[in-house]
Amino acid sequence: MIKQTILIVLTALTILSCNSSDNKKIAAQQSQTETKTKTQIDSILDELNNKFTINGQPINPRVIHELTGGDFDMSDGPIITALDLKKANDSNRYFCDSCLGKYEIYFGTDKDGNDLGHFAYKYLGKTDNNIHVVETSGNGGGSGTWSFVLFLSVQKRNAYVMGEKQEQLILNLEGSADGPSGSGVYGTNSNIAIKQNTVNIDYETNEPDENGKEKITKNSKQFEF
């Protein structure tokens, strides 16, 4: 009777030990998976904040173009102010075979052969608190060219996607201003400087004085973040 009791106890302990070992293995595997995912997301975020690139390549210009409203009219403010950059950058929605690895895109021609315009952007740098400054330029096929300065940030967040929790890298439009060239309030002789958490745009405007003579006025705008 005693032998049977000891045997039962030993068997129960063995089962508990196996279950504990299996649970530890499962937990370790889950931890490794979570660490790997976190490291991948964090690595991309670090690259974006240091170089404003993804896997060594420029951000898809179609994605940046989306934040301008797509029609170069931001006078009433943008419609789209944030998007999932990691997914959007190589998605079918923003696919562009001719602009892969580039900072510009040509929209081609319509069925009648009319030029549909182009769009390009230039990365100027960032503030100390990771506000990225991007200058854009483009047109819709006409003679006018529009330029904007975009102030962007990137952040990691968790969101439910089809019921499953996922990590996302969100590209946020923190603000915008008329660009220093082309149409807008700024003249072509201008300069954009970033110092600490302030972006300064110096520019000149040419307007006739009371005698009808051209008068050059120096101006400056500051954007603090």
Q: Is residue 7 part of a domain?
A: yes
Do 150 and 67 meet the contact criterion of CB atoms below 8 Å apart?
yes
Residue 222 lies in a domain: no
User: What is the pLDDT, as a whole number, of residue 96?
Assistant: 75
212 is a domain residue? no
Q: Are residues 30 and 68 in the same domain?
A: no
Q: Provide, for the chain, the percentages of residues in helix, strand and coil under a 3-state DSSP scheme, each rounded to the nearest 5.
A: 30, 40, 30
156-165 long-range contacts (CB < 8 A, ≥24 apart) are 156/41, 156/42, 156/45
Q: 125 pLDDT exceeds 60?
A: yes
**Residue of higher predicted confidence among 196 and 68:** 196
N residues, the chain: 225
Identify the pLDDT of residue 196.
Answer: 96
Can you give the pLDDT at residue 184? Answer: 44
Same domain, 69 and 144: yes
Q: Are residues 37 and 117 in the same domain?
A: no
pLDDT in tens, 173-222: 999 887 665 444 444 557 889 999 999 988 777 777 788 788 888 888 89
pTM summary value: 0.73
Same domain, 46 and 77: no
Determine the pLDDT at residue 183.
43
The pLDDT-based confidence of 19 (bands split at 50, 70, 90) is low
107/146 same-domain check: yes
Output the pLDDT for position 79.
84
Residue-wise pLDDT for 42-51, tens only, equals 999 999 999 9
Q: Structurally, how many domains does the chain consist of?
A: 2
Same domain, 40 and 68: no
Q: Considering only the C-alpha atoms of the chain, give the largest distance between any 2 of them, rounded to a whole number of Å.
A: 119
Mean pLDDT over 54-61 rounds to 90
Name which residue leads in pLDDT, 169 or 29.
169
